[in-house]
Amino acid sequence: MFKFSSMMTEDANLYHLGGLHPVNIGDRLKDERYQILHKLGFGHFSTVWLARDHFKACYVALKIYAAEEGGRSHSSSNELKALRHLSRGSETHPGRQFIMMLQDEFFIKGPNGTHQCCVTQVAGARLSRAPTLKYNALGPARKLASQLFLALEYIHSSEIVHGDIFTSNILQQVGIFDHWSEEELYECIGTPIREKVDLIDQTEPIGTATPTYLVHQCNLAALEECLALPKIILIDFGSAFSSFKPPIEHDNLPQISPTEVLFHTTLSSSIDTWAAGCVTFEICAGYTLFKALFNRKQDVRKDIVAMLGKPPKPMWQLRPERGCYFEADGTPKKTAKGIMVKPYPLSDRIRDMTRLYSDTEDFPTAELAELYDLLSKIFLYETESRLSPSMALKHPFLSHYV
């Protein structure tokens, strides 16, 4: 076992047979073509590196998945299958530019097994509301939301469902910096910070399965400051599925999960539309629409009922905990301390966004009314009644920015 002392790196215990591949700065992959320069990100099942493609003389993002021997190849297989399929889609569709496109893929063998690798463009940090942006300026948020729905229109036209749309999977695009030298690159994003890997039992040697050091993620915010473009890019298709073959079970972040995921009913491409609605609210308001505290899925289910009211009978009967918080007709139960769940409709949630404004004269009243109208047509229990991405793009809140 290894000591794990930093939140800035992956857990060293993820490096084992069937786990992550040990990488050092300066390593070269695929016949010396890709040189590792810095770390872009990490997770339980992959690491993502900033690399120099010496064949094309450009910088790329290189993702190395956990070894296939670990039984965790489902995510990598899903993602690469979706990316291959999307790369064959229409090259003239305006939403294509907002999708992470596959540039190369290959396998490497290491001490922990055989690892799938994929190469894509370099992007910035996760989508969020700019801290300096005034809250009466919804224009930037509307533009980003329109790009997200264009991306969805492209994906769905290819019969693919993303399945995991939230702000961490939506990055800011950055301009070209292929002409930068390594020195200029490090001047912007910082030189790699290496953290020594230590065993709990110091008498045991560190084998080849584990790197001697872990690398902190580079300063993507600095890269954005230099090169940010007003464009998003949608990443991480590890949860993607064919719209013709939806999975029986699907698990993603509760705050963006639609009712059919949380109440375990039939899935369709409209799960992406619901999630895009959650993202749209978040980048307009600066906080998430639904709150998840302790029992996250149960908390979000309660919050959805507080916003939309009682769900259809088949869906309602699937959740045994409903009797703890709601009467049979869907009204919140009352106790000596008050009602268990306070009704909080979408109109009130949009209204309460105005608390962020310092001057009531600054309220973008018409824009907020349009936002409410758009989201009210997305947040519906009946999946077939929700707006499709194509229909959403014709809505006044988005259509001016398409």
Query: What is the spatial distance between Cα 149 and Cα 99, in angstroms, rounded to a whole number?
Result: 11
> Which residues, listed in sequence order, are joined to residue 170 by a DSSP beta bridge?
234
Which amino acid is it at 258? P
Question: Is 63 assigned a ligand-binding role in the annotation?
Answer: yes
* Phi, psi (degrees; rounded to nearest 5) at 383: -60, -35
Exposure string over 133-167, b if 16+ CB within 10 A, otherwise e = eebbebeebbbbbbbbbbbbbbbbbbebbbbbbbb
Burial class (CB in 10 A: 0-12, 13-18, 19+), 129: middle
User: Sheet harboring 104-110: ordered strands across?
Assistant: 28-29, 34-42, 46-53, 58-65, 113-120, 104-110
Inter-residue contact 35 to 54 (CB < 8 Å): yes
DSSP 249-312: -----GGG--HHHHTT----THHHHHHHHHHHHHHHHSS-SS---SSHHHHHHHHHHHHH-SPP
What are 131-136's contacts with CB under 8 Å, separation 24+? Answer: 134/362, 135/286, 135/353, 135/356, 135/357, 135/362, 136/357, 136/362, 136/363, 136/364
Which amino acid, residue 298?
Answer: Q
Burial class of residue 240 (count of CB atoms within 10 Å of its CB; 0-12, 13-18, 19+):
buried
SS3 110: strand
* Binding site residue list: 63
* Binding site residue list for ATP: 63
